Structure 1
């Protein structure tokens, strides 16, 4: 912060503004990458659907795509 170089002052200010978030990551090693990925999937579902008749249909599609559900479907008769 006491540097005469402007880029160093900017980096010091950036670190001060984000100090709590930096420390939270160092302590927990958790970030929001998974949430961003899920949000991307949900936005894709919304774009592909071009509108749902109701919110329940939209939520059902989200659960089916994001829930990683495994269905034990009966096998065809041989």
Structure 2
């Protein structure tokens, strides 16, 4: 399984949105995510077609809302690169 991994210093439970760079609103994928016991968060990107994508993470920790955006690219070699 292809994933994008994040290491946090606290537990994370929230939502991830995967959007193609040219997203018109209908092609976006939203999934619920939760970090493991060691605060590692793995966001699956198996269903992302070749091209440029944006990952948006939203979560709450200790009553505060957090958001993180990450651009990445899926290449025809079945790999991806973070920007």
Q: TM-score, normalised by structure 1?
A: 0.21
Q: Higher Cα Rg: structure 1 or 2?
A: 1
Task: Report the TM-score, using the length of structure 2 for normalisation.
Answer: 0.20
* Structure showing greater relative contact order (alpha-carbon pairs closer than 8 Å, 6 or more residues apart): 2
Instruction: Point out the structure with the larger helix share.
Output: 1
Q: Which has the higher strand share?
A: 2
